[in-house]
Amino acid sequence: MSKNINNSTVDYTQKVLEVKNLKKYFYVGVGKNKLTVPAVDNVSFDVHKREVFGLVGESGCGKTTTGRTIIKLYNPTDGSVDLNGIRIGAGFGGHVQNIKQIKLEAKEAILRLDPAKIRVYNLEVEAEKKIDYIKQDIVILKKKQKDEMKKVMQPVEQYAADLYQLKSLFTLDIAKFNYNFALKKNEIQGLTHNSVESEYKTELAIAETTYNHKLGGLKDSAALKKETIEERIQTLKATYQQNLSELKAEFTPLIADAEKHRLPKAEAKAQINALNDERKALIASRQKQFEEDKAKLVMPNKAQLQADALKVKADVQQEIVQKQAEIAKIKVELKETIANLPKLELSQDDQQSNKAAIEAIMNERDEKIRFEKDQIRDIKTVNRSKESLVASRKMQMIFQDPISSLNPRMTVKEIIGEGLVILGGYTDDEISERVAHVLELVGLSPDYATRYPHEFSGGQRQRIGIARALIMNPNFIIADEPISALDVSIRAQVINLLTELREELGLTILFIAHDLSVVRFFCDRIAVMYYGKIVELAPSEELFANPMHPYTRSLLSAIPQPDPDYEKGRKRINYDPSQHDYRIEKPSLREVAPGHLVYANDKEFEVIKQDYVKSLAQNKTNVSTKDNVAKQTEV
């Protein structure tokens, strides 16, 4: 494995990874219930040589899916991925959509050649739009019915909740009465016994056991003479008798004194009976209170509720029937309008002309479709090509979970060397040598190669995962939340290790993480993801100093600080995606400052530019204030 010197400086003139319009969609369900989940939606970014590029966002935003799509664990739906200038993966979903669009455009072009058909087509399209609007109204009405029914049934739900609370409090109080009674009962029963006498008997038993143990040891001794054994036995007996005398002298007055305070059993029984009567009285009183509180609850009028529910259903159903009647009316009117259209007879020349035009349209359509299919075939060829396979070997991944990512049935040597075995061309001795080398590189002993994953801590397992990636001698690594499952102290060790490896080997890293403080420390540039899209991209310090997108501000406001004064004044910013109106003006990544991109439409971008200027001015003011405070402190 080659080592370079001065490999920590980012070379922004050379791109290692180029991601363009990457999409990864997952499909759920079938038929009418089929849903498309855009896990990664039109993501583009570049990672330069020796750069650490951070990808942050909440769980489910698409960070891990992006990394797995780049490394070809998932096939891209659309877009492309280039590594060191070589295309290693691409999707063709866009070309499939282009084919559908080409067919639709050809169909419309053919319809325009016949005035009668185009008029019918336009009438059908217009009618379909009206029907769609009415269907949306029906959906709204059904939701309205659901909400109204919920309001109607609210008294029933409230009554059930109040009754449940009463029963819970009643059960809790009864349990408390029984517990207090049992506690006091045990206390009284304890007073009927002489505890000092019990302690005296325990001490006697201990002394006797100790004496018998030592006596048995002396009798069984083969190392001492008989005379010596007899002498020591006599000494032991004397000591034992002395201990008994001392215990008796110590405990006799104590036992007598305790006997004076011992509660007679008859009196104890009377006290327990009194406590039991008190408990029963409390339970009866609480039972009475529960019944009174229960009687105060207003029982909903079921007959009235059923009548109200039927009225709500009838009213909404009447509106739905009216809407359905409107749909039927539109369809009837459409048929009548089409039937009453004047018939246009085309001349022989017009028919011949249309026939030639249709043939030209079909030829053009076929040519465009052929081009799109050629593109799809080229993409499939690239995805299966040997060149892309060889190029992609220069990219490795460190997985999130250091436990499940390691096969428990394989030794460390087998886990780390698996890539070399698959690649082929290495002897067992060569693999052992390289495994030992990368283990030392990540701070582990080569002797660990014969162990299994369960014998290591979480931090050590993650180091094994890093070694597995490094043994393939990559120049680009995708680190998928490599510290999220580790303790804070272990996280620091792993981050320091990655920093050392980056400087020593000149690695380029795509770092996926949740912890923004770690990302700020470790990454050169950061991209913030939200629901499959990059909403902001900027150099690390620039992003933290001037966050422009509302979601980025929300993330940064959630970072806790080890400063009580700061925490008291910290204001949490909640992100509301409904604040964006993208129905007409569509958003895109726009550059608000050199290297600082924000996802916004035209209207939002104008506001963001003004906010950016204000943010710069505020940062300058804060720096000036800190400098003045520092100078005053020095004086």
Tokens linked to 522: 């470790």
**pLDDT tens, 252-264?**
888 888 777 777 8
Could you tell me the maximum CA-CA distance found in the chain, to the nearest angstrom? 144
Q: How confident is the model at residue 627 (pLDDT cuts 50, 70, 90)?
A: low
Q: What is the pLDDT of residue 539?
A: 93
Q: What is the pLDDT of residue 631?
A: 54
Tokens linked to 55: 């990808």
**pLDDT tens, 488-524?**
777 788 888 888 888 888 889 999 988 788 888 889 9
Residue 248 in contact with residue 207, Cβ under 8 Å?
no
| Single-letter code of the amino acid located at 520 | R
| Single-letter code of the amino acid located at 73 | L
Residue 449 in contact with residue 439, Cβ under 8 Å?
yes
Instruction: Establish if 531 belongs to a structural domain.
Output: no
Percent of the chain with pLDDT over 70: 95
Q: How confident is the model at residue 634 (pLDDT cuts 50, 70, 90)?
A: low
Q: Is the pLDDT of residue 2 over 50?
A: no
Domain count, the chain: 1
More confident call, 348 vs 612: 612
Q: Is the pLDDT of residue 574 over 90?
A: no
Q: How confident is the model at residue 529 (pLDDT cuts 50, 70, 90)?
A: very high
Q: Is the pLDDT of residue 411 over 70?
A: yes
Report how far residue 580's alpha carbon sits from residue 600's, in angstroms, rounded to the nearest whole number: 9
Q: Is the pLDDT of residue 3 over 50?
A: no
**pLDDT tens, 550-572?**
999 888 888 777 777 766 677 78
Q: What is the DSSP string of 219-262?
A: HT-SSS-HHHHHHHHHHHHHHHHHHHHHHHHHHHHHHHHHHHHP
Q: Is the pLDDT of residue 179 over 50?
A: yes
Domain residues for 443?
409-473
The neighbour count for residue 417, using CB atoms within 10 Å, is: 24
Report how far residue 449's alpha carbon sits from residue 440's, in angstroms, rounded to the nearest whole number: 11
Mean pLDDT of the region 73-85: 91
Report how far residue 445's alpha carbon sits from residue 458's, in angstroms, rounded to the nearest whole number: 16
Q: What is the pLDDT of residue 325?
A: 93
Q: What is the pLDDT of residue 630?
A: 54
Q: Which residues pair with 38 in a beta bridge?
A: 25
Residue 215 in contact with residue 233, Cβ under 8 Å?
yes
Report how far residue 390's alpha carbon sits from residue 58's, in angstroms, rounded to the nearest whole number: 34
Residue 393 in contact with residue 432, Cβ under 8 Å?
no
Mean pLDDT of the region 109-119: 79
Q: What is the pLDDT of residue 376?
A: 92
Q: What is the pLDDT of residue 197?
A: 83
Instruction: Establish if 444 belongs to a structural domain.
Output: yes
Instruction: Establish if 162 belongs to a structural domain.
Output: no
Mean pLDDT of the region 320-338: 90
Least confident of 33-37, 319-323, 327-331, 344-348: 344-348
3-state secondary structure of 15: strand
Report how far residue 40's alpha carbon sits from residue 68's, in angstroms, rounded to the nearest whole number: 11
**pLDDT tens, 115-161?**
777 788 888 888 999 998 898 889 888 888 888 888 888 888 888 89
Q: Is the pLDDT of residue 1 over 50?
A: no
Instruction: Establish if 461 belongs to a structural domain.
Output: yes
Query: How far is CA 313 from each of CA 128, 305, 318, 373, rounded to the nearest angstrom?
Result: 28, 12, 8, 53
**Residue among 74, 90, 55 nearest 532 (CA):** 55
Q: What is the pLDDT of residue 5?
A: 44
Q: How confident is the model at residue 581 (pLDDT cuts 50, 70, 90)?
A: confident
Instruction: Establish if 150 belongs to a structural domain.
Output: no
Distance of CA 493 to the CA centre of its chain: 23
Q: What is the pLDDT of residue 6?
A: 54
Q: Is the pLDDT of residue 4 over 50?
A: no
Mean pLDDT of the region 241-251: 89
User: For residue 257, what are the contacts with CB-CB under 8 A and spacing of at least 6?
Assistant: 196
Q: Is the pLDDT of residue 230 over 50?
A: yes
- Residue 38, H or E segment: strand 35-49
Interhelix angle 195-219/226-261, rounded to 10 degrees, is 170
| Single-letter code of the amino acid located at 367 | E
| Single-letter code of the amino acid located at 522 | F
3-state secondary structure of 515: coil
More confident call, 364 vs 195: 364
Mean pLDDT of the region 183-205: 85
Report pTM. 0.64
| Single-letter code of the amino acid located at 383 | N
Instruction: Establish if 100 belongs to a structural domain.
Output: no
Q: What is the pLDDT of residue 624?
A: 62
Distance of CA 188 to the CA centre of its chain: 55
Mean pLDDT of the chain: 86
Instruction: Establish if 437 belongs to a structural domain.
Output: yes
More confident call, 454 vs 344: 454
Q: What is the pLDDT of residue 483?
A: 80
Q: Is the pLDDT of residue 274 over 50?
A: yes
Least confident of 286-295, 515-524, 527-536: 515-524
Q: What is the pLDDT of residue 528?
A: 93
Tokens linked to 549: 């997108």
Helix runs in 62-114, H state only:
63-70, 93-113
